[in-house]
Amino acid sequence: MTQIGVHCPLMGLTLRRPAPSPLADAERGHVDDIVDTDRYPITDLDSLAGRSLVAETAARLEKDGLVRLPGLLRPSAVRALRREMRATGRHISCETTTRSAYAGYAGDESLLAVDDPRRLTSTWTAGHITRDMIPPFSVAQRLYVSPDFKRFIAACLKLGRVFEYADPLAGLITTVIPPGGEYGWHYDTNRFVITLAVDEARSGGAFEYSPDLRSPGDENLEGLRSVMTGDRSTIKSVTARAGDLQLFLGRYSLHRVTRVEGRRPRLMLVLSYAEQPGIIGPVERTRQVYGRVTETHLLHAEQALGTDGLIA
């Protein structure tokens, strides 16, 4: 560990203490100490190795809807992240709910036929460490805001640029699935999501998905029914190890996390970026997912209303 000398004039001494950790910095934040840049040269995307990393990652993502980069995080960063998240995880509670596959189903469910697959639900038992609980010296914040990391993600998705969420809670969260818990079948509202495994389950806790079960203009409700009633013929399964990064196109592929076995919670860092800046989640959904909201959410909702209280 690097030490720095701090002169203490009262005692006439120079005290030694560890150099402060770098802080998250969206302008210059370097990540060479936390990302294995020898294996994954994300800080030098113009190099031959950088270009081939992006080309290969983008091609696998396009073909399979999912790509995993094993050991992207250096072991020392994995240990630090695990320590941080285990300590913060003590402040959250895990709730059990049953939900359909559609996080934002806008229609009136009671109008659906009794056997409509959109009524099918699965069980969720999980808690969330939200962005406001993660300190700026954490490996998680440093990676999330890093300009190099964002450039890498944008390049793999063939986007000009990606933006952090402006939402104080979402954008950067750790999903905590306790022993016996699971994350039910669902589609994401975002086109893509990035996950980084912090603590894997001793057994269970696999990520399962049915690639491209739906597509633009084709909801494939019969496919949804099959998967949610136990048909495994289209299912693929991956188990990430701590330090592995995964890019996943979750809007079209139904997915879930299977029951966590053993005594250790499964911790997964979820890094969400948007294609436009300024994204803030709606109040109702934020309350539903995280159990609370911030003033930013409330103000954002107020601003969407005219002064007469009607939708602008």
Ligand X SMILES: O=C(O)CCC(=O)C(=O)O
Q: Which of residues 260-279 bind ligand X (CB under 6 A)?
A: 268, 270
Q: Which of residues 161-180 bind ligand X (CB under 6 A)?
A: 175
Q: How many residues bind ligand X (CB under 6 A)?
A: 11
Q: Which is nearer to ligand X, 84 or 200 (CB)?
A: 200
CA dihedral for 179, 185, 190, 194, sign (positive or negative): positive
Q: Which of residues 201-260 bind ligand X (CB under 6 A)?
A: 207, 250, 255, 257
- Cβ-contact 244, 196 below 8 angstroms: yes
Q: Which is nearer to ligand X, 266 or 297 (CB)?
A: 266
Q: Which of 44, 116, 188, 212 binds ligand X (CB under 6 A)?
A: 188
Q: How far is the CB of 251 from ligand X (least distance, A)?
A: 10
Q: Which is nearer to ligand X, 31 or 254 (CB)?
A: 254
Q: Which is nearer to ligand X, 49 or 270 (CB)?
A: 270
Q: Which of 154, 193, 194, 293 binds ligand X (CB under 6 A)?
A: 193
Choose among 184, 173, 177, 180: nearest CA to 199.
177
Q: How far is the CB of 240 from ligand X (least distance, A)?
A: 7
Q: How far is the CB of 205 from ligand X (least distance, A)?
A: 8
Tokens, residue 23: 């802080």
DSSP labels, 135-150: -TTSHHHHHHH-HHHH
DSSP labels, 246-288: EEE-TTTSEEEEPPEESSS-EEEEEE-EESSS-----HHHHHH
**Residue the block writes with tokens 């069980």:** 123
Give Cβ neighbours of residue 130 (< 8 Å, ≥ 6 apart).
Answer: 168, 169, 170, 173, 290
Q: Which residue is nearest to ligand X (CB)?
A: 268
Q: Which of 195, 210, 253, 286 binds ligand X (CB under 6 A)?
A: 195
SS3 7: strand
Choose among 249, 243, 300: nearest CA to 85.
243
Q: Which of residues 12-31 bind ligand X (CB under 6 A)?
A: none
Stretch that binds ligand X, among 58-66, 91-99, 187-195, 218-226 (CB under 6 A): 187-195
Interacting residues toward ligand X by CB under 6 A: 175, 183, 188, 193, 195, 207, 250, 255, 257, 268, 270
